[in-house]
Amino acid sequence: MKRTWISLVLAGLVPACAGPGDGPGDEAVAGAIRRALPSTSIDAIRPSPVPGLVEVVAGRNVLYASASGRYLVIGHIYDLQAARDLTAERKAELARIAWDRLPLDAAVRYGQGALKVAVFHDPDCPWCRRLHRELRAAGDIEVYQIMYPVPALHPAARGKAVAILCHGDPAEASDRAAAGHDLDAPPAGCAESATAAVDRAMAFGRAHGIQGTPTLVAPDGRVHNGYLPVPRLKAWLQAGRESSPTEPTTQGGRS
């Protein structure tokens, strides 16, 4: 069956592909996909690395189609000569989050250093707690810990996130939460605004496909899902600095 599918795909290849703004070519591809997959929302169509195929971006999915719109390819394109997964690279590019759009009003800020990172953090997530303790011990990374409770897994996390943001020393409160200690109830005057900030952060995360914690965001917008030990985290951040030496100015966060 796999050979048949590949044969069909190859049979549909044409010498040139339609690029953005080429009109009829893009419309043929989009129309064919919508007819076959009505629930698919197409965000963009552009040339792919392979002649004869166009790239179709549908949400966080990257698909490929013949320029006629007849054949659809679901899978990854590998550049064997360069040893690169081009589809994975494209998905990573699409997943980038602009630093200046992050919900830093729901962030706890701590640490100092040339490297900085934003962490979507659930106070009751075991891996978040571990990363928090390690980053606090390191001290040489500027951290923006965005409160991102996942109520389906940790029903009490939203309340803890609000209590952390409302604490006189939010970083110290996050230390206490990471150690499993109880937190004081937030002052009434702060609880409402902090809850709104946490809810905005949760909405932002959902809109950007953040499904778990911890999720890390580098200043250049790269996203890493899951825990990284500090040495690997530093290497990941440094790689971004070397490729994008100019970092955005950071504002916000509660120290």
Question: Of 3.40.50.1370, 3.20.10.10, 3.40.140.10, 3.10.450.70, which CATH number belongs to 2-94?
Answer: 3.10.450.70
Say if 2-94 and 99-243 have the same CATH topology.
no
Residue 124 to residue 161: CA distance in whole angstroms:
9
| Burial grade of 175 (CB within 10 A; 0-12, 13-18, 19 or more) | middle
pLDDT score at 41: 84
In order, the DSSP letters of 124-183 are T-HHHHHHHHHHHHH--EEEEEEE---TTT-TTHHHHHHHHHHSSSHHHHHHHHHTT---
pLDDT score at 27: 83
pLDDT score at 3: 35
The two tokens of residue 22 are 């080429």
| Burial grade of 50 (CB within 10 A; 0-12, 13-18, 19 or more) | middle
Q: State phi, psi for 155 to the nearest 5 degrees.
A: -60, -30
pLDDT score at 28: 83
pLDDT single digits (tens) 109-159: 999 999 999 999 999 999 999 999 999 999 999 999 999 999 999 999 999
The two tokens of residue 14 are 């044409």
Residue 126 to residue 124: CA distance in whole angstroms:
6
pLDDT score at 176: 96
- Which residue ranges of the chain lie beneath pLDDT 70? 1-25, 243-251, 255
Domain ranges of the chain: 2-94, 99-243
β pairing state of 215-217 and 115-121:
antiparallel
pLDDT score at 7: 31
pTM: predicted TM-score of the whole model, two decimal places: 0.74
Domain 99-243 CATH assignment equals 3.40.50.720: no
pLDDT score at 26: 83
Q: State phi, psi for 134 to the nearest 5 degrees.
A: -70, -40
pLDDT score at 21: 36
Task: Scan for tokens 């995360």, then name that residue.
Answer: 205
